[in-house]
Structure formats: C-alpha cells, structure tokens
Structure 1
C-alpha cells in the first residue's frame, strides 16, 4: 500500500470517528436536556401539591386538637356536675365545639383542593380522614347535648372515633409522603 492511499484511508477513518463521537455527544446532551426539563416540570407540579397537602393537614390537625381537648373537658364536666366549676367547664367545651365546627368549611375547601391537586390515593386518604373527623365531631356534639340535658354522656364511642380519625390522618400523611417522594407520581405500595 502506498503512502498516499494510507494517508487518505487514515484521514477517512479519523473523520468518521470524530463525526461519530460528535453525533453521540449531541444525542447524550439532548437526552440530558430532556431529563432536566422533565425534572423541572415534576418540581413545578410538586410544590403546589405540597402546599395544598400541608394546608389541609394543618387545618385537620387544628380541628382534631379542638375536638380532643373538648372531649377531655367534657369528661371532667360530666364528673363535676352539680359543682360550681361545672358551668365554666361546660361553657368552655361548647366554645371549643363551636370553634371545631367553624373549621369544617375550611377543611372541606382544602379537601377539595387536595382532590384537584393530588393523585387518587391521596384524595381518597384525605376524604377518609374528613369522614372520620366528622364522625368524631358528631359524637362530641352528642356528648355536649347529653351533658346539657342532664344525662351522662357515653364517652367510649368518642374516644374510639378519635383514635380512628387519627389513624386515617396518619394514612393521609403516608399517602402524601409516597406521592411527594416519587418523582413520577406512581404509588410505591
């Protein structure tokens, strides 16, 4: 093989190698750019969801705390019937009940926002926690009514409802954590 032909073949192989490397580098850069755009899109979706979930969780917990505190005072008021402290404690229970009822619309509104923002399993967990919390609130209302009518309220169902509501709240938090922790929004259970 003469030197001229070897030089031409060497230049052709070098050009082909350089061109191939350039094509591969361009494809890798494009792929990296698409991944970056996808990650940014997921983050832009995640942040509003997170804010909605946090607002719902805070409102739910505020109402649950009011119900739980009112329940504890209701128990004390039932034991103190006929004493000077009874009326003061019973009035405090009624004020807490009113405050808990006032948060109901806020929780309903935020629950709707969770349904709009979230995947189905998060929406269902939020809905379950709302239903159980409403049952807890309803039993507190019955307890206050019984107390004011002069009968001793049965507090066992109220206690059980509080535990059930708290368990559904924990399920909601777990669903939220799963949803926010998975960048493609698939359930990991």
Structure 2
C-alpha cells in the first residue's frame, strides 16, 4: 500500500472517529438538557400546587373544627343541664356558626386555586370535601334553628350531626391524600394528569 494512501486513509478514519464522538456527545448533552428542563418544569409546577393544596386543606380543617365546636355546644342541649348552661351553650354554638359563615368566602377562593392548579383527581376530592363540609354546616344550622325556635331538636339530630361530621373529616382526608400523591409525583416520568 502506498504511504500517501495510508496517510489519507488514517486521516479519514480519525476524522470519522472524532466526528462520531462529537455527534455522540451532542446527543447525550441534548438528552441531559431535556431531562434537566423536565425536572425544572416539574418543580415550577409543584410549588404553586403545593401552596394551593396546603391553603385549601388548612381552611377546610379550620372550618371543620369550628363547626365541630358548634356541634359540641349544641349537644349540651340534648343533655340534662340547667337552663342557663343550655342557653350559654346555644349562644356559643351560634357564635361559632356565624364565625364560620362570615369566613366562608375564603373557602371558595381556596377551592378555585386548587381547581386552577389541578389535576382532576385532586380537584374532584376538593369538590367532595367542600360538599361534605357544606352538608355538615347545613346539619349544624338545622339543629341550631330548631333549638332556637322550638327549644328542642329532633331525636336523631345528634346522630345526624355526628354522621355529617365524620363524612366531612373523611372527605378532608381523601383530599390531602390525593394532593400528597400529586405533589409526590416526580413530574418527569409520572406527571399527574
């Protein structure tokens, strides 16, 4: 083989090897850049979701606890007690209920934030939690008005309030578990809906 031809062949093989290495490095760098962008995108999405979910959960729990306090005051009226004690309990129940109602607009705002952030499985549990809380509120209101108007409430009212309280708390727990799963998704391979 001619020395010139061997030199040209060697240069060509060297150039092909260098070019192939450069192409391989470019493909690898592109893949790494995409993965980094996907991870950053997931972080950018995760933070506002986390804030919206936490704000909604805190508001639902605060409202649930306020209504539970009102319920506990109302239950005093189902037990033998002096009239003054029952009257004070009824007044305290009314104050708890009115405090909840006065602050209820904020829950709608927090719910709207959750809906905007999504995903669907989280927003549906947020809707169920809001509905269960509203049913609990309605039961408290019914008992409160019956006690204020007639001085007594239906025999099954205490059990009904307890049932609505339990449903409200269960819906709250389902929301926080769905929210936790959505936030825990890494966003790269398992992005929620």
Q: 1:151 maps to what in 2?
A: 152
Deviation at 1:9, TM superposition (A): 2.2
In structure 1, what is the Cα distance between the partners aligned to 2:94 and 2:151?
Answer: 15
> Alignment partner for residue 177 of structure 1, among 155, 161, 180?
180
Deviation at 1:81, TM superposition (A): 4.7
Q: Does 1:48 align with 2:58?
A: no
In structure 1, what is the Cα distance between the partners aligned to 2:18 and 2:168?
Answer: 66
Tell which deviates more after alignment, 59-68 or 142-151.
Answer: 142-151
Q: 1:74 maps to what in 2?
A: 74
Q: Which has the bigger relative contact order, CA under 8 A and spacing at least 6?
A: 2
Give the 5 Å matches for 1:115-126. 115-126=115-126
Gaps of 5+ in 2: none
In structure 2, what is the Cα distance between the partners aligned to 1:37 and 1:80?
Answer: 67
Q: 1:140 maps to what in 2?
A: 140
Q: Is the 8 A contact 1:59 1:103 kept in 2?
A: no
In structure 2, what is the Cα distance between the partners aligned to 1:17 and 1:3?
Answer: 21
State the secondary structure of the residue aligned to 1:155. Answer: helix
Give the 5 Å matches for 1:6-85. 6-85=6-85
Deviation at 1:53, TM superposition (A): 0.9
State the secondary structure of the residue aligned to 1:78. Answer: coil
Gaps of 5+ in 1: none
Q: Does 1:186 align with 2:189?
A: no
Aligned length: 187
